[in-house]
Structure 1
Amino acid sequence: MKAVVITGPGGPEVLQVKEVEDPELRDDEVLIKVAATALNRADTFQRKGVYPPPKGASEYLGLECSGTVEAVGERVSRWKVGDQVCALLSGGGYAEKVAVPAGQVLPVPQGVSLKDAAGLPEVACTVWSTVFMMSRLSAGETFLVHGGSSGIGTFAIQIAKYQGAKVFATAGSEEKLAFCKKLGADVCINYKTEDFVERVKKETGGKGVDVILDHIGARYLMKNIESLNVDGRLFVIGTMGGAEANIDLRVLLAKRLTVQSAGLRYRSPENKAVIVNQVEKVVWPAIVGGKVKPVVHKSFQFSEAAEAHKLMESSDHIGKILLLP
């Protein structure tokens, strides 16, 4: 099969399409003929050599895909050859075929194209596990997502709104803020021209928001903590603004705050299966009902992987970037 390989740590130019061995299929896995995969920020870090795949995972990039089931392992009963599916991966999406544990496979939601479904598993599982399963965002609460125009952000705005929360979003341009508004964000903040802490305080009568989803990390840590309500929950899923920061524990104590952090990729297959199951039960009906829609900015061919990575690193996109074999 063909796959996009990393010829050595570096910039987008190190990505090249090459012929490689087909993946081996284990008894509890499904072999998917890939129709599309979607870029995630983690792919750019792996390309640079600073985010290795988990032990035993595919060496190729790609944390999600959509496609058609080509074969199933002996212990797989739900999925059949020919099923149209999408899947959460530990790696391997940038290839014509990928083997994935059956518990990480989802049906393509009715009303979504096979291609566009490639951009759903990672964002759906990330947002649902962090914002709802672990941070317990509920109807009537307030929620802030940074990078509202990103793949994670566009999905988080929609599902939080669907679940009955008041949604705050930050973005870096008026075009992106307008898109966040269109998706349902109630308060849109330009982080380049406004202090988001001040705006959050103003909009909440000085209280702060109940839950924050953040991918910036160190640079925003204390600002996020200042922006939280009593019993507020901060969930950090990235370190684009640094990995080390000082924290004033007195603020946490005074407001009974919870600070959590987790990634999806290094979770066990069993843990991922629990998340995927929840997503199918709760999130998929919202997508089928048209309340939450995939947001796809642009699609590239495998041969254009370098261009796709350049676009992601420019942050000039809104929503997901797809790669097609």
Structure 2
Amino acid sequence: MRTMRAIVLSNPGPVDNLVLEERPIPATKPGWVRIRVKAFGVNESEVTTRKGLSSRDVALPRIPGIECVGEVDEAPADSDLAPGQKVATMMGGMGRSFDGAYAEYVSVPVGQVIPFTTNLPWDVVGALPEMFQTAYGSLTTGLDLKAGQTLLIRGGTSTVGLSAATIAKSMGATVISTSRKADRLGLLRAVGIDHPIVDDGTIADTVREIAPEGVDAALELVGCEVLPDTLKAVRVHGTACFTGALGDQWTIPDFDPFSVIPFGVRLTSYGGQATDLPANVFNLQLQEIAEGRIRVSVAKVYQGLEGVREAHSDLEAGTTPGKHVVVLT
């Protein structure tokens, strides 16, 4: 039996519960693709899963990891994929309902595999799938953002927030983005934010000083504790999209729509899948990155599965904005 190295979570808890083990290489089965993992991002949702705080049930033991990039190792004969093809995959139950990307190999349904062509290094490409898919889906499916509109991003220095800002600017939007730390406003300006503001927990009045009628669209990444305030910053017939909960609060106790949602403001949510990110859109972003038109915010690169624990610790500490990426040799 061929084996691989993988990070396994058997019980929720601290980073020490992420254990490096030998596991069987996933067997191939109809309709699934086996990928040799080259790199993967470490995400806030994986930290939440590790701590046992996920809003979705995760059966343990489990190999975590909701995204990766790599090369096709084996694919169904009736697919357009061939061994060696560079691919990305994300979500769809990875690391939750079936074993995920913290391993040398992962097997996923063929429908959630995105082929791409690029000469960008694996550490750059590995930073992209989940944050770009989530940002792109939130702006398009969640908010239907249009050129000329004003967008508020609550949680702007998160990986999704930074990615959403670059996409929104390329779409022709004016972007207001928040950080809880004043010393990170320069980072927001560096990625093209028009109006970076400090988030002290109540920002609706500050946002309306910039957009007196309210913003056209708001991307909520912080969570339910600030959602009512975010909604107050949105204009009548504008839209807020709930995508993330960086504050680990996913619900509003005794939710009262009449007091939480201002009259005429629309509230949506987004938590999409790889199928929401067309291959041509992903490949276009790779091209724009290669040509210097889009910046990728990478906090730190870790070599090998041995770096997963450190990546989790660094991500929890929140000292360096950007994506934490593990590269396998």
* Alpha-carbon spacing, 1:32–1:96, altered in 2? closer, same or farther (3 Å): same
Partner of 1:106: 114
* Residue 51 (structure 1) shift: 2.8
Cα distance in 2, alignment partners of residues 125 and 161 from structure 1: 16
Partner of 2:315: 312
- 1:27-106 pair list within 5 angstroms: 27-51=30-54, 59-77=62-80, 79-89=81-91, 90-91=94-95, 92-106=100-114
Q: More deviation in 211-220 or 52-61? A: 52-61
Once the two structures are TM-superposed, the CA of residue 220 in structure 1 deviates from its matched residue by 0.8
Three-state SS of the structure 1 residue aligned to 2:324 is: strand
Letter paired with 1:198:
D
Taking the aligned partners of 1:73 and 1:97, their CA distance within structure 2 comes to 16
TM-score normalised by structure 1 residue count: 0.88
Show the counterpart of 1:249. Answer: 258
Task: Give the helix-richer structure, 1 or 2.
Answer: 1
Equivalent position amino acid for 1:203 in 2? I
Q: How far does residue 39 in structure 1 lie from its aligned partner after superposition? A: 0.7
1:211, distance to aligned residue in structure 2 (A)? 1.1
1:18 partnered with 2:21 = yes
Corresponding residue SS for 1:17: strand
Name the structure 2 match of 1:199: 206
Matched, 1:222 2:228: yes
Query: Which has the higher mean CA deviation after the structures are superposed, 162-171 or 21-30?
Result: 21-30
**Aligned equivalents of 2:60, 2:17: Cα separation in 1:** 21
1:188 aligns with 2:196: yes
CA deviation vs aligned residue, 1:45-91 (integer Å, no higher than 9, x gap)? 111223387789993111111112211123312x2111222222422
- Kept in 1, the 8 Å contact 2:191–2:295? The answer is no
Describe the shift of the 1:114–1:26 C-alpha distance in structure 2 as closer, same or farther (beyond 3 A): same
How far apart in 2 are the matches of 1:54 and 1:278?
33
Letter in 1 for 2:16: E
Deviation at 1:109, TM superposition (A): 5.4
Secondary structure at 2:321's aligned position in 1? coil
Which residue of 1 is the match for residue 239 of structure 2? 233
Alpha-carbon separation, structure 1, partners of 2:252 and 2:5:
39
Q: Which runs of 5+ in 1 are unaligned?
A: none
* Identical-pair percentage: 27
> Aligned letter for 1:73?
P
Q: Select between 86-95 and 314-323 the one with higher mean Cα deviation.
A: 86-95
Given the two structures, how large is their TM-score scaled by the length of structure 2? 0.87
Tell whether the 8 Å contact from 1:64 to 1:121 is kept in structure 2 after alignment: yes
Contact residue 27 and residue 74 of structure 1 kept, 8 A: no
For the residue of structure 1 that corresponds to 2:177, the secondary structure is strand
Residues 163-174 of structure 1 mapped to structure 2, 5 A cutoff: 163-174=171-182
User: Does the C-alpha gap of structure 1 residues 216 and 41 become closer, same or farther in structure 2, counting only changes over 3 Å?
Assistant: same
Quote the Cα distance in structure 2 between the aligned partners of 1:101 and 1:285.
Answer: 26
- Structure 1 residues 173, 50: CA separation in 2 closer, same or farther (over 3 Å shift)? closer
Residue 294 of structure 1, CA deviation = 2.2
1:160 aligns with: 168
SS for the counterpart of 2:172 is coil
Instruction: Provide the rounded CA distance (Å) in 2 between the counterparts of 1:142 and 1:248.
Output: 25
In the alignment, is the contact (CA less than 8 A) between 1:104 and 1:276 conserved in 2?
Answer: no
Gaps of 5+ in 2: none
Residue 228 of structure 2 contacts residue 261 of structure 2 at CA under 8 Å; is this kept in 1? no
Looking at structure 2, the residues matched to 212 and 111 of structure 1 have their Cα atoms a distance apart, in angstroms, of 34
| More off after superposition, 159-168 vs 65-74 | 65-74
CA distance in structure 1 between the aligned counterparts of 2:21 and 2:27, rounded to whole angstroms: 18
Change (3 A) 1:109 1:220: farther
In the TM superposition, what is the alpha-carbon distance from 1:132 to its structure 2 partner?
Answer: 1.1
